[in-house]
Amino acid sequence: MDTKKSNTGWSDQELEASVDGYLKMLKLVSLGQSLNKKAEHEVLREGALSTRSLASVDYRMRNISAVFEILNQTPIAGYTAAKNVGSGVVSRISRMLAQRGIVASQDNAPTFDDELLERRAAKLQSKPIKTKPEGIAAPQQVSTTSTSYVRDPEVRAWVRQQAAGICEGCSLRAPFNLDNGQPFLEVHHVKHLAQKGSDRITNAVALCPNCHQRCHRSSDRDEFTAGLYSKISRLIQE
Ligand SMILES: [Zn+2]
Ligand SMILES: [Zn+2]
């Protein structure tokens, strides 16, 4: 084999062997065992990586560390993430990691932390959400200094995306835009979470602050809420 090709044109089989080798080492490290990289590389070179140099195997491991970082996962400390890894290699390695259960740390993971929820929702909202989120039928109650509920950032993001900057209560434009350019609308649970309402798109609306406060505090809040149910077809009475 042409030696100049020793670091290009890796076959799926070679890449998979590298990924498996990496995950094996990751496991050793997580179990607190010391890592002999060279010995591990030699094992790989006795198998699928027989045409690759030690340096080339090491570089491939550093590619995998780079993909770990992209996925917000902690790589093996001994392999500094390689810079400027080609997108083709990144997507092949990502796919192989996903097949082995290593996926991007979840922006859509439910959380009770308001700030985190908002950050995740804002991030999700910046790209079209293609499928209606499942949401959480019975949000788990969490005791902090104040009572809060675990909510799904994707539900929040989807509902705001549907509203597209128009309050679903009064049909007026959101009163202002945030620094990130997104229109300011608050997501309200029509049947309140405290009343055991669900965190689903069938129970959530995007409202301007006036309409939101009206739902909670106004003397006509029951009539106003009834109006939301008749106006917004996706809502389901709980
Ligand atoms: Zn409104
Ligand atoms: Zn509310």
**Model confidence pLDDT, tens digit, residues 216-225:** 989 999 999 9
Counting ligands in written order, the one closest to the CA of 225 is 2
Counting ligands in written order, the one closest to the CA of 216 is 2
**Around ion ligand 1, which residues have CB less than 5 A away?**
167, 169-170, 208, 211
Ligand 2 midpoint to CA 136 (Å): 17
Q: State the pLDDT at residue 4.
A: 39
Ligand 1 midpoint to CA 132 (Å): 23
- The alpha helices in 133-208, defined as continuous H runs, are 153-163
Counting ligands in written order, the one closest to the CA of 213 is 2
Model-wide pTM > 0.75: no
The CA dihedral of 146, 149, 155, 157, to the nearest 10 degrees, is 20
Residues 6 or more apart in contact with residue 70 via CB below 8 angstroms? 90, 94, 104
Ligand 2 midpoint to CA 213 (Å): 7
Counting ligands in written order, the one closest to the CA of 212 is 2
Length of the chain as a residue count: 238
Ligand 2 midpoint to CA 205 (Å): 9
Phi, psi of 177 (to 5 degrees): -100, 150
Ligand 1 midpoint to CA 113 (Å): 26
DSSP-assigned beta bridge partners for residue 204 = 189
Counting ligands in written order, the one closest to the CA of 207 is 1
Task: For residues 108-120, give the mean pLDDT.
Answer: 78
**Confidence band, pLDDT 50/70/90 cuts, at residue 136:** confident
The CA dihedral of 183, 151, 116, 82, to the nearest 10 degrees, is -100
Ligand 2 midpoint to CA 227 (Å): 15
Counting ligands in written order, the one closest to the CA of 193 is 2
| Dihedral sign of CA atoms 61, 62, 66, 69 in order | positive
pLDDT digits (tens, 9 = 90+) for 42-97: 999 999 999 999 999 999 999 999 888 877 788 999 999 998 888 888 889 988 99
Q: State the pLDDT at residue 145.
A: 63
Counting ligands in written order, the one closest to the CA of 186 is 2
Counting ligands in written order, the one closest to the CA of 175 is 1
149 or 107, which is more confident: 149
